[in-house]
A and B are shown apart, each in its own frame.
Chain A
Amino acid sequence: MKGIVFTQFIEMVEQQYGYEIVDELLTNTNLPSGGAYTAIGTYSHHEIVCLVVGLSKRTNIPVPALLNAFGRYLFCTFSRVYDHFFEHFHNAFDFLENVDNYIHVEVIKLYPDAELPQFTTKRLDEKRLEMISNSERSMGDLAEGLIAACIEHYKETASINREKLTEDAKSERFLIVRAS
């Protein structure tokens, strides 16, 4: 997993709970990397899972809520750091439709070793977009957060209806319905 996910997670925790909680998490969690992350590095996916689970125990907030919040935080970071990606798209559906075949393509150019989830979209009608995610890591909650943040970014209102397509939740369907 790309280092930016870790650095942003640490940053979000520090903002919300202070560095003491960050230190506690990094110290108490068995992390092969030793808890030192750089945005351009690459780290095991298990480490973020352990960090999230550790934070959930420490804060008593359920893991899905944490992941949803992290998705929103992460989108804000992306929109800030990679603003040039956003210039091309003028609404949330356009953007979401291009995640897989534009944004991820560009990401792979920069980071050939990046392991990215796969999104396929289908515009059902003007207001409804179906988005199916396939990810090894069952990061549906994180994805939902990212989608919700995207909608907000474009100052739109939409409901997100989520359903599992497989038991292990590696494949999930998001039906995004834009209001008015």
Chain B
Amino acid sequence: MDHEKELAILKRRLDREISSRRQAEAILEQKALELYRANQDLRILNESLEQKIAARTTELEDSELRYRQIVENATDIIYRADAQGYFTYANQTASERLGYTQEEIIGRHFGELVHPDWQQRVNDFYKKCRDEGQINSYLQFPILTKSGETIWLAQNVQFIQHENKIMEAAAVARDFTKRKKAEDALKTTQLRLTSLIANLQSGILVEDESRHVVLTNQLFCKTFGIPAPPEALIGIDCSTSAEETKGLFRDPEGFVLGIENLLSEKQMKVNEELEMRDGRILLRDYIPIFGEGKYLGHLWQYRDVTEEKRAEERLRRSEEKYRGIIENMELGLMEVDNMGRIMRAYHHFCEMTGYTEAELLGKKANDVFLPQEFTGVMKQQAIDRMRGKAGIYEIQLFKKDGSRIWVMISGAPIYNQWGKIIGTIGIHYDVSAQKRLQQELFEARLRAEEAQEAEKQFLANMSHEIRTPLNAIIGMTHLLYDTSPTPDQVNYFDVLRNSSDILRSLINDLLDISKIRSGKMEVHAKDFDLPGLVRSIQKTFQLKLEQKPIAVEALIDPRLDTIVRGDDLLLNQILLNLMGNAEKFTAEGKLGVRVTRKASKGNIITVEFEVFDTGIGIPQNKLDLIFQSFRQVDGDIKRRYGGTGLGLSIVKNLVELQGGTIRVESMVGQGSIFIFQLDYEDTGIKTSGISDATQSIHADFAEKGHVLIVEDNSMNRKYLSSLLKRWKVRHKMATNGKEGTEMAQLERFDLILMDIQMPEMDGYEATIHIRNTANPNQHSPIVALTASAMLTKKDKAFQSGMNGYVSKPFTPEQILPVLRQYLGLDAPMLGNLPKVSELSEDDESCNHLNRASLIDLYGDDAAYALDMFEAFFEKIEEEYPLLFKHFEDKDWSALSKLAHKLKPAFPMVGLSWLETDFQQLENEAKEGAEPIAIELIINRIKTRVTAAMPLIIEEMKRLRCLVN
């Protein structure tokens, strides 16, 4: 290679290298410039950033101030609280609304301000927000202000977090109390309206402008047979409902057309009547609803008036019917105008008065028909009519022929369709016949009253007139018993006596009734022993019914233990009447009196008496009748049982006379109970005290001897009186049993000589009375004076409580031992009379006899006691063995009867416990108990009687010693 070429290559290489370097330098230059510019831009950017930060900071400060002002001046409550719920900031509004200063709020826990009822709920709510990380929350709740006022807050709370931890809460709360109240009020109103509509007695359907259901009620659904509940229909489109339901209506097309018309016209239309296919009739109201001139929908109201329509129809038919009936009845109808001019006279009225309607029209009714004396009545009626009042009255009318008829007129005003009175309608009923009858009845009553008065007078007079000779007959009958009659004669006397007694009681009843009716019966109050009176009545009837299977009971309230003040005679009469009545209608079983102290007020006690029996009873429908005079349950009763029918009437009058009441309870076949109540004054004195008090009197008079003679026969009285005078025995006399008991009430006697057959009250009754009522002679010896023919009744004498008897006629020698025995006329004898009561203390071996009851029964009367013991002994000897025979024969009925008969004898000898055994035996045998049970009782009785008999014999020996 040559040098030149090499040089040229090198030159070119150099050129290329230079060119390359320049290219590279140019590129680098350009890159450096770019770098410089970029650097420059960065610097500028940095500077402007600082400025921007400064500006932004100022802006932020301004903004915070602005926000703070907004917060301070906000109308909402704005506050901040720390994470625990303590206020850290509260704005002015918070202070104003809550009533606390801002300082008072800060540091307080927000829960303190919440209404107590809501604290739990609010706490729970915010706890949940925190737990679930819910940063923003909204809650409505009530709080209490400082003054205690409740305000409602709607509160937005935002939790402010830092690194996932709640640092504080910012809250904005608005007081919406007013809105809340308004809401509540609105809610209430809405509820009311909704429930009003739901309960309306019409079917309601409210639709909006596009025919969607807004509201409906149950009745609407029911009316149209929609099975869904009303709430389910809300929102449903009704635009096709007419077409769907038209089938329910009688005129389906008319129904659809009607609805279309209403909807297009939008005019209210009410009370459209729609007939349904099933016969119901509906009234429809269409009421369009406009709000501020804009159509908002409409209301349909459907009322089912089927019932009303039917009722109207019924009424119309009924009116027609009654008009027809009145026309067909014998009632004359006439209509007059307000001037009294006749407008219409119906057919029957014309017939009644004899006029034709043509003759009457236009005439004044009063001119035609009215007699002078009734113008006043008519005037008053006319005034009433104009006031719209109807009236019924009776007047006379002139008929056309001039005669008069009585008519009853029912007058009523006639109204026109505007409710104005245009006249009167009178319905006339011819009462002439009734008037005549009424007059006749009135006259008849006058005559009857006059006759009754005369009869009463006659009865009173006649009773008196009859009584006088009747008393003579009764008196004489009793005296006949004292004439030593033969047994046959005694029977005749009994009949005579019974008949005259009946006659007398009849006359007495009549007299009582006329006395009561004429008000002459008076109540005389005096002190008396009420239980005693009742007991004596019981004993009397017990004695009387001895031969009949009837037990006579007296059940006396133990609280009645004092002397009361009242009319004992009236009470006695009442009880005797009722018991007599009971006796009359009772064939077997029992009867008696129960006396109960019912009530007390101050010193007044109310006592209830019940007189019961197991008789035939009284039918329920006759209970009202029995207290009426002369009334008995029926004629058959009168025939079978006799009596005047006055007894119960007298009882009722006597009870009522004393201010009491009486009633009766009864069951046919079971018996009757007459119950009456009477008030008595309680004296407070114990009835037992009376006899105690008289004991001392007894002692004073014991030695002197004081005898009461009760005897209806004046000859006997004179005879006895002369004997006693001769023996210098002090005595008093009573002419019958009743007088005798009255005298026994007043003073104590050492001996009572008692005739048996006496008018008014016989000797038995008198004795019972004395023995059973509180009186000084309750324990005085009573000796019967009895006709020899009557001696068979000596048991009765003892049972009635008598101590002994003397048969009539008697000689002085016969009566003297009696006087000796009871009065101790001879000093030595008197001295030898030891008292039974002393015995009990001497002899301990007698302990088994009930001494107390023996003293109670016999006092110190050893002879009487001996008599009773002897009688007992005889009876036991005779009848006691029969008991075992009946038992072996298994004759329970006889056994029961025998037990019943023996039973009362045991207490008489101080073996009262055996009475209980016999009672048990009687009951068990009667009720058909097991033979083994009866055997047990019999064995017990046997043991006891065997043990007791030596005591009885011993006692009899002692008594005999004492007596002799």
Partners in one complex: yes
Cα distance, A41 to B19, chains bound together (Å): 12
On whether A41 and B9 interact (CB within 8 A), knowing A20-B1, A36-B16, the answer reads no
Cα distance, A59 to B12, chains bound together (Å): 22
Q: Mark B20-35, 1 if CB is under 8 A from A, else 0.
A: 1101100110000000
Q: Mark A23-64, 1 if CB is under 8 A from B, else 0.
A: 100110000001111111100000000000000000000000
Q: Which residues of B lie under 8 Å from residue A19 when comparing CB positions?
A: 9, 13
Tell yes or no: B15 within 8 A of A by CB. Answer: yes
- Chain B contacts with A in 1-20, Cβ cutoff 8 A: 1, 9, 12-13, 15-20
Q: Which residues of A lie under 8 Å from residue B27 when comparing CB positions?
A: 38, 40-41
- Chain B contacts with A in 447-486, Cβ cutoff 8 A: none
Cα distance, A34 to B18, chains bound together (Å): 12
Q: Could you tell me if B13 and A23 are in contact, using CB atoms closer than 8 angstroms?
A: yes
On whether A40 and B12 interact (CB within 8 A), knowing A20-B1, A34-B19, the answer reads no
Cα distance, A19 to B7, chains bound together (Å): 12
The residue in chain A whose Cβ has the minimal distance to the Cβ of B8 is A23
Q: Which residues of B lie under 8 Å from residue A35 when comparing CB positions?
A: 16
Q: Could you tell me if B9 and A23 are in contact, using CB atoms closer than 8 angstroms?
A: yes
Q: Which residues of B lie under 8 Å from residue A23 when comparing CB positions?
A: 9, 12-13
Q: Which residues of B lie under 8 Å from residue A26 when comparing CB positions?
A: 12, 16
The residue in chain A whose Cβ has the minimal distance to the Cβ of B31 is A40
Cα distance, A35 to B13, chains bound together (Å): 10
Q: Mark B90-108, 1 if CB is under 8 A from A, else 0.
A: 0000000000000000000
Q: Which residues of A lie under 8 Å from residue B21 when comparing CB positions?
A: 38
The residue in chain A whose Cβ has the minimal distance to the Cβ of B5 is A20
On whether A36 and B9 interact (CB within 8 A), knowing A20-B1, A26-B16, the answer reads no
Contact of A38 among B1, B15, B23 (CB under 8 A): B23
Q: Could you tell me if B23 and A27 are in contact, using CB atoms closer than 8 angstroms?
A: no
Q: Could you tell me if B9 and A20 are in contact, using CB atoms closer than 8 angstroms?
A: yes
Cα distance, A38 to B18, chains bound together (Å): 10
Q: Could you tell me if A41 and B1 are in contact, using CB atoms closer than 8 angstroms?
A: no
B356 to chain A, nearest CB (A): 138
Q: Which residues of B lie under 8 Å from residue A27 when comparing CB positions?
A: 12
B258 to chain A, nearest CB (A): 84
B347 to chain A, nearest CB (A): 131
Cα distance, A27 to B12, chains bound together (Å): 9
The residue in chain B whose Cβ has the minimal distance to the Cβ of A24 is B9
Main secondary structure of the interface of B (DSSP, over half): helix
B360 to chain A, nearest CB (A): 136
Q: Which residues of A lie under 8 Å from residue B18 when comparing CB positions?
A: 36
A51 to chain B, nearest CB (A): 13
Q: Could you tell me if B19 and A36 are in contact, using CB atoms closer than 8 angstroms?
A: yes
A39 to chain B, nearest CB (A): 8
Q: Which residues of A lie under 8 Å from residue B19 when comparing CB positions?
A: 34, 36
Contact of B24 among A20, A34, A38 (CB under 8 A): A38
The residue in chain B whose Cβ has the minimal distance to the Cβ of A22 is B13
On whether A41 and B23 interact (CB within 8 A), knowing A20-B1, A36-B17, the answer reads yes
Cα distance, A39 to B13, chains bound together (Å): 16
Q: Which residues of B lie under 8 Å from residue A41 when comparing CB positions?
A: 20, 23-24, 27
Cα distance, A118 to B18, chains bound together (Å): 35
Q: Could you tell me if A37 and B20 are in contact, using CB atoms closer than 8 angstroms?
A: yes
Give the residue among B17, B21, B23 with the most A Cβ atoms within 10 A.
B23
Cα distance, A31 to B172, chains bound together (Å): 81
A46 to chain B, nearest CB (A): 18
A2 to chain B, nearest CB (A): 12
The residue in chain B whose Cβ has the minimal distance to the Cβ of A36 is B19
- Chain A contacts with B in 93-135, Cβ cutoff 8 A: none
Q: Which residues of B lie under 8 Å from residue A36 when comparing CB positions?
A: 15-20, 23
Cα distance, A20 to B9, chains bound together (Å): 7
B291 to chain A, nearest CB (A): 73
Give the residue among A20, A27, A36, A37 with the most B Cβ atoms within 10 A.
A36
Give the residue among A19, A34, A38, A41 with the most B Cβ atoms within 10 A.
A38
Cα distance, A155 to B15, chains bound together (Å): 41
Cα distance, A47 to B877, chains bound together (Å): 183
Cα distance, A26 to B27, chains bound together (Å): 23
The residue in chain A whose Cβ has the minimal distance to the Cβ of B24 is A38
The residue in chain B whose Cβ has the minimal distance to the Cβ of A34 is B19
B69 to chain A, nearest CB (A): 54
Cα distance, A39 to B17, chains bound together (Å): 12
The residue in chain B whose Cβ has the minimal distance to the Cβ of A20 is B9
Q: Which residues of A lie under 8 Å from residue B23 when comparing CB positions?
A: 36, 38, 41
Cα distance, A20 to B2, chains bound together (Å): 12
Q: Which residues of B lie under 8 Å from residue A40 when comparing CB positions?
A: 24, 27-28
Cα distance, A37 to B17, chains bound together (Å): 8
Cα distance, A160 to B870, chains bound together (Å): 170
A40 to chain B, nearest CB (A): 5
Q: Which residues of B lie under 8 Å from residue A37 when comparing CB positions?
A: 20
Cα distance, A36 to B19, chains bound together (Å): 6
Q: Which residues of A lie under 8 Å from residue B20 when comparing CB positions?
A: 36-38, 41
The residue in chain B whose Cβ has the minimal distance to the Cβ of A23 is B9
The residue in chain A whose Cβ has the minimal distance to the Cβ of B18 is A36
Cα distance, A23 to B11, chains bound together (Å): 10
Q: Which residues of B lie under 8 Å from residue A34 when comparing CB positions?
A: 16, 19
Cα distance, A2 to B13, chains bound together (Å): 21
The residue in chain A whose Cβ has the minimal distance to the Cβ of B1 is A20
Q: Mark B414-431, 1 if CB is under 8 A from A, else 0.
A: 000000000000000000
B32 to chain A, nearest CB (A): 13
B778 to chain A, nearest CB (A): 150
Give the residue among B9, B16, B20 with the most A Cβ atoms within 10 A.
B20
B61 to chain A, nearest CB (A): 44
Q: Which residues of A lie under 8 Å from residue B28 when comparing CB positions?
A: 40
Cα distance, A19 to B23, chains bound together (Å): 21
Cα distance, A88 to B25, chains bound together (Å): 33
The residue in chain B whose Cβ has the minimal distance to the Cβ of A35 is B16
Cα distance, A113 to B149, chains bound together (Å): 81
Cα distance, A26 to B13, chains bound together (Å): 10
B729 to chain A, nearest CB (A): 171
Q: Which residues of A lie under 8 Å from residue B1 when comparing CB positions?
A: 20
B612 to chain A, nearest CB (A): 132
Give the residue among B1, B9, B27 with the most A Cβ atoms within 10 A.
B9
Q: Which residues of B lie under 8 Å from residue A20 when comparing CB positions?
A: 1, 9
The residue in chain B whose Cβ has the minimal distance to the Cβ of A6 is B20
The residue in chain B whose Cβ has the minimal distance to the Cβ of A26 is B16
Q: Which residues of A lie under 8 Å from residue B9 when comparing CB positions?
A: 19-20, 23
Q: Which residues of A lie under 8 Å from residue B12 when comparing CB positions?
A: 23, 26-27
A21 to chain B, nearest CB (A): 10
Cα distance, A5 to B24, chains bound together (Å): 15
Cα distance, A30 to B28, chains bound together (Å): 27
Cα distance, A47 to B193, chains bound together (Å): 99
- Chain B contacts with A in 255-291, Cβ cutoff 8 A: none
B49 to chain A, nearest CB (A): 26
Cα distance, A35 to B15, chains bound together (Å): 10
Cα distance, A35 to B23, chains bound together (Å): 12
Cα distance, A23 to B16, chains bound together (Å): 10
Cα distance, A124 to B20, chains bound together (Å): 45
A15 to chain B, nearest CB (A): 15
The residue in chain B whose Cβ has the minimal distance to the Cβ of A41 is B23
B17 to chain A, nearest CB (A): 7
- Chain A contacts with B in 61-113, Cβ cutoff 8 A: none
- Chain A contacts with B in 4-25, Cβ cutoff 8 A: 19-20, 23
Q: Mark B822-843, 1 if CB is under 8 A from A, else 0.
A: 0000000000000000000000
Cα distance, A23 to B12, chains bound together (Å): 8
Give the residue among A20, A23, A37, A39 with the most B Cβ atoms within 10 A.
A23
A-B pairs with beta carbons under 8 Å apart, 13 shown = A19-B9, A23-B13, A26-B16, A34-B16, A34-B19, A36-B15, A36-B18, A36-B19, A36-B20, A37-B20, A38-B23, A38-B27, A40-B24
Known pairs A26-B12, A38-B24; list 15 more (Cβ under 8 Å). Answer: A19-B13, A23-B12, A26-B16, A34-B16, A36-B15, A36-B18, A36-B19, A36-B20, A38-B23, A40-B27, A40-B28, A41-B20, A41-B23, A41-B24, A41-B27
Q: Which 6 A-B pairs have the closest CB atoms?
A: A36-B19, A38-B24, A36-B16, A38-B20, A23-B9, A36-B20
